[in-house]
A and B are shown apart, each in its own frame.
Chain A
Amino acid sequence: MERRSFLKGFGAAAACAIALPHVASAAEEKKSASPMAMNFETAVAAITGGKALTPSAKVKMEAPEIAENGAVVPVKVTVESPMSDKDYVKAIHILASKNGNVRCANIYLTPANGEAFFGTRIKLGGTQDVVAIAEMSDGTFLTAKQNVKVTIGGCG
């Protein structure tokens, strides 16, 4: 009996060993990055065109410090600005620094908004910084960030 069960177990293990390489290669193929994938540096460069980012208290970001569910993380961004025809916030960009595709949303505002505000809910794959970049009408870029700890990732 003992010998028989040993052989059975060995047979199963051998079958596993043969099957495993196939599984591994298939998984690797499917792990290929999403076509929209972009890393943080590239995304920031695409937004600013190489101009400097200035951390500023004028950009206020509201995001939870700890998000239990990474699939739904509320984010609100307000930028202090008179929103007049001459001095307004042209755009608010929201980036999740460690997602496969870091870009979440680009919001192009006009003075008709009356207030530079954007609120949404985003997915986060893990603990990371959520970054807001405000493009002002004078061509400067202000930024603010908030670290969000994610207990359960929101991807997959």
Chain B
Amino acid sequence: MKTLIKIKPKTYAAGDIVKIDFMAMHPMETGMRKNKDTGALIPAEYIDEVKFLFNDTLVTKMVIWESLSVNPLMSISFKVPGAGTLKVIAKDNKGQSVESTTQITPKG
């Protein structure tokens, strides 16, 4: 699972509210789609839990289902308390899990 974390805007100061975009490359299969060649159902495969942590303290927890689009985007707000590490843990219903981190470095 490839992931991407984007902080918007790029430069910010401590105390600013920024947007965190988290994107994961994931098929988000609903379990209702059929393989066009064999007619067999493609088993459901979707991200079901995403956690955003700042310096290992939980900021936001998400429980999601297969209704999110392919390669889902999740965007939240975050009030920058200071410098630190933002960690995003995403887990899918097959137990596959990925951890991605980015540094929060406020300026000014």
Contacts and interface: CB of A to CB of B under 8 A. Distances in A.
A156 B33 contact: yes
Interface in A85-130: 96, 99-110, 112-123
A45 interface: no
B71 to A, nearest CB: 9
Contacts of A155: 30, 32-33
A120 B59 contact: no
Contacts of A36: 31, 44, 65-66
B75 A117 contact: yes
A71 B34 contact: no
Interface in B65-88: 65-70, 72-79, 81
A114 B64 contact: no
Given A36-B31, A112-B79, A122 B58 contact: no
Contacts of B34: 30, 156
Interface residues of B, number: 35
Nearest to A111: B79
B19 interface: yes
Q: Chain B interface secondary structure, helix, strand, loop or mixed?
A: strand
B100 interface: no
A72 interface: yes
A34 interface: yes
A35 interface: yes
B18 to A, nearest CB: 9
Contacts of B65: 36, 101, 103-105
B69 A123 contact: yes
A102 B32 CA distance: 14
Contacts of B63: 105-106, 108
Given A112-B78, A113-B78, A115-B17, A71 B62 contact: no
Contacts of A34: 30-32, 44, 66
Contacts of A113: 59-60, 76-79
Interface of A: 30, 34-36, 71-73, 76, 83, 96, 99-110, 112-123, 154-156
Closest 8 CB pairs of A and B: A114-B79, A119-B75, A115-B77, A121-B69, A104-B67, A117-B77, A114-B17, A106-B63
6 contacts: A34-B31, A105-B65, A107-B76, A119-B76, A123-B68, A155-B32
